[in-house]
Amino acid sequence: MTDSDGGRRPRAFEEVLARIEERILADGLTAGDRLPGERQLAEQLKVGRSSVREALRVLETLGVVSSQAGRGPDAGAVLTSRPGSALTDLVRLHLGLAALSMREAVDTRLMIEQWSVVRAARSGAGLEEMARALAAMDEATSPHAFVEHDVAFHLAITEASGNRLTAAIMRALREAVHRYAVDAVVRLGDTGDLQADHRRIHAAVRDGDAAGAADAIADHLARAYPPGQPG
């Protein structure tokens, strides 16, 4: 659909997104705050309530809002804070459809983790969380348990960067490729070398060696996901 000047007319979904953005900016809305009800949004946007309802369903699927039944002050969807969930679903779907390759996922991890670990080494943040994950990996009795704590170790690195968006992307990547991570541990058979890599990363962050930490991340991911591996 187009406007009279030939431009594409925004869909109701896009208009609702724009309205949410406007309200967040103008009113300082945050997670937990309530949006106007369907009728009010429809009046504001000059669209049908069915269009608003469908748009809110899409936003709920994306993890932007949660639906809320009711009348009066209890009406209207609530803004949520689940950025990783929608990202995880999208990455998993694209990997499953071969629209994205595991190599692309690993390369993205490498970029995020190297940038994050440099910041962590400069600030000294995340050391306690990394140490706890290291100890838990030492006690792991199965590949699944090892990967669970391995995820915690690497998330501690990205969260130490202080950038919530890169941390959310990293969390989504790790959740989406969980099965591949377990397969990598099974393939290696012994987690001793992986743990040696983890301790090298932790030591570099502790010592403030940013370059050494970045190199350790690269070597670790090359060991876990060799370039020649399919995927």
pLDDT, tens digit, 9 for 90 and up, residues 135-185: 999 999 999 999 999 999 999 999 999 998 888 888 888 888 888 899 999
Q: Return the closest-CA partner of residue 173 out of 186, 160, 159, 155.
A: 155
By the 10 Å C-beta count (0-12 exposed, 13-18 middle, 19+ buried), 183 is classed as middle
Contacts of 12 (CB under 8 A, 6+ apart): 45, 47, 48, 51, 52, 54, 55
Q: Which secondary structure element, helix H or strand E, spans residue 123, and what is its range? A: helix 102-123
The pLDDT of residue 7 is 54
Asked if 213 contacts 120 with a C-beta cutoff of 8 angstroms, the reply is yes
Q: Return the closest-CA partner of residue 32 out of 71, 72, 64.
A: 64
**pLDDT tens, position by position, 80-109:** 765 556 667 777 777 776 777 888 889 999
Q: Which secondary structure element, helix H or strand E, spans residue 79, and what is its range? A: strand 78-79
Q: Return the closest-CA partner of residue 197 out of 165, 164, 169, 225.
A: 225
**pLDDT tens, position by position, 209-220:** 999 999 999 999
Neighbours of 156 (CB within 10 A): 24
Q: Return the closest-CA partner of residue 171 out of 81, 67, 65, 98.
A: 81
CA–CA separation, 21 and 10 (whole Å): 15
CA angle 84, 62, 80 (to 5 degrees): 70
**pLDDT tens, position by position, 44-72:** 777 788 888 888 887 777 777 887 655 55
